[in-house]
């Protein structure tokens, strides 16, 4: 039988629908998640299937409804709450920072807060400084949250089901450019085979998206695909690149990173988040602490060079790492 090919947004919506059927405690709320199906399609079809009570359109009040998700979780529900863009988390940050992530700890383990907060990340479509950020590096610095960032429809479904079943708060970041939306630039990888039955992918297990022996490239989300593109190009030049997709930042699969570096002796971290004080720094630091003696060259980072995301095409293309620049950075490492 031919494998079924679906988009990432369909994979996410299917995961949620299957979990909502299995578990009556699961419900969805957020801005335009109902009739509209979510601005990026992550809740497509849910409202029609489950109705107003379990698929709730909210007013524009992130602090209110993210806080309400925390409260509902404390009373035994398993809310999935969508914050339309990660850029909008500034309007509800306190609920994430001081409550969602901490209540379990502060209560000495008495209470659990099984919320899935899903939100859109990434640029590349001229949405500028307040609608193109990644910011997962901030949340990975905050104890108490699990951080999930899928790069393929298959991973998106398995990780979403895992997230919903996890008893801890989970932040689930989907990249707008990977959702497979018809109004975005289509890239092939956004449509891929996804099994119909529910399945889970454990957190904290990186996926080697391509094996190689000369350089380790660590990435998440869109940068996984750009790294793969670069790897393909470099193959012709005889450079063998290993691409590691972390998939979750918390828990972080340190072992996968370190083992790969021990094999390739070279490390490039590619990130669509800001360069400084983010995920890329953490990964390089882990290697500098644990595998320094295996490195044959200084580790390298390629990320957004500490500027807000600009609007104009030429400017935006300049700051977000491209396959060409990734290839250049790899070449520098192996030269």
Task: Examine residue 61 and tell whether it contacts other proteins (CB under 8 A).
Answer: yes
CA dist list (Å): 74 to 82, 102, 258: 18, 12, 38
Q: How far apart are CA 190 and CA 205, in angstroms?
A: 21
Phi, psi angles (nearest 5°) of residue 262: -65, -30
Judged by CB under 8 A, the chain residues 101 through 120 that form the site for other proteins are: 101-112
Q: Which span (55-63, 218-226, 233-241, 255-263) binds other proteins, by CB under 8 A?
A: 55-63
Residue selected from 11, 84, 96, 159 as contacting other proteins according to rule CB under 8 A: 96
Reduced to 3 states (helix: H, G, I; strand: E, B; else coil), residue 150 is coil
Task: Examine residue 216 and tell whether it contacts other proteins (CB under 8 A).
Answer: no
All residues at 6 or more sequence positions from 238 whose CB lies less than 8 Å from its CB, including other chains: none
Q: How far apart are CA 213 and CA 138, in angstroms?
A: 32
Residue selected from 252, 257, 270, 333 as contacting other proteins according to rule CB under 8 A: 252
Q: What x-and-dash track marks residues 7-36 binding other proteins by CB under 8 A?
A: --------------------x---------
Judged by CB under 8 A, the chain residues 34 through 53 that form the site for other proteins are: 53
Question: Distance from CA of residue 241 to its chain's centroid?
Answer: 22
Task: State in angstroms the smallest separation of the CB of 103 from other proteins.
Answer: 7
Task: State in angstroms the smallest separation of the CB of 293 from other proteins.
Answer: 7
Residue the block writes with tokens 């497509």? 44
Judged by CB under 8 A, the chain residues 292 through 311 that form the site for other proteins are: 292-293, 295, 297-301, 306-308, 310
Using the 8-state DSSP alphabet, how is residue 209 labeled?
E
Residue selected from 51, 90, 193, 202 as contacting other proteins according to rule CB under 8 A: 90
Reduced to 3 states (helix: H, G, I; strand: E, B; else coil), residue 286 is helix
- For helices 153-165 and 8-22, the axis angle rounded to 10 degrees is 30
The yes-or-no answer on residue 131 being catalytic is: yes
Nearest by Cα to 286 from 245, 333, 321, 249: 249
* Nearer residue to other proteins within complex by CB, 89 or 119: 89
Judged by CB under 8 A, the chain residues 254 through 293 that form the site for other proteins are: 273-274, 276-285, 287-290, 292-293
Residues that contact other proteins, how many (by CB under 8 A): 91
Judged by CB under 8 A, the chain residues 157 through 186 that form the site for other proteins are: 167-168
The set of catalytic residues is 131
């Amino acid at each position: 039988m031919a494998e079924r090919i679906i988009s990432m947004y369909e994979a996410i919506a299917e995961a949620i629908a299957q979990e909502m059927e299995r578990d009556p405690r699961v419900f969805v709320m957020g801005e335009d998640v109902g009739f509209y199906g979510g601005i990026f399609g992550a809740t497509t079809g849910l409202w029609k299937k489950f109705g107003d009570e379990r698929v709730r359109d909210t007013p524009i009040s992130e602090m209110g409804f993210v806080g309400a998700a925390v409260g509902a979780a404390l009373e035994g529900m398993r809310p999935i709450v969508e914050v339309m863009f990660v850029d909008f988390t500034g309007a509800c940050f306190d609920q994430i920072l001081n409550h969602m992530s901490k209540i379990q700890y502060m209560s000495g383990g008495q209470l659990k807060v099984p919320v899935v907060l899903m939100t859109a990340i990434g640029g590349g479509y001229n949405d500028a400084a307040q609608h193109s950020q990644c910011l997962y590096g901030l949340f990975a610095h905050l104890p108490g949250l699990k951080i999930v960032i899928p790069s393929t429809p298959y991973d998106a479904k398995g990780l979403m089901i895992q997230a919903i079943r996890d008893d801890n708060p989970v932040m689930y970041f989907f990249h707008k450019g990977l959702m497979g939306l018809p109004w975005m630039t289509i890239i092939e990888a956004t449509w891929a085979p996804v099994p119909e039955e529910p399945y889970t992918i454990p957190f904290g297990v990186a996926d080697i998206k391509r094996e190689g022996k000369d350089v380790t490239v660590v990435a998440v989300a869109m940068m996984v695909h750009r790294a793969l593109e670069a790897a393909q190009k470099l193959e012709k030049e005889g450079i063998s690149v290993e691409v590691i997709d972390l998939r979750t930042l918390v828990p972080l699969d340190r072992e996968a990173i370190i083992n790969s570096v021990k094999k390739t002796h070279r490390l490039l971290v590619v990130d669509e988040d800001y360069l400084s004080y983010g995920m890329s720094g953490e990964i390089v630091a882990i290697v500098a602490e644990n595998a320094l003696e295996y490195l044959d060259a200084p580790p390298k980072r390629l990320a957004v060079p500490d500027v807000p995301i600009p609007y104009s095409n030429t400017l935006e293309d300049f700051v977000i790492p491209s396959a060409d620049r990734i290839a250049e950075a790899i070449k520098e490492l192996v030269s």
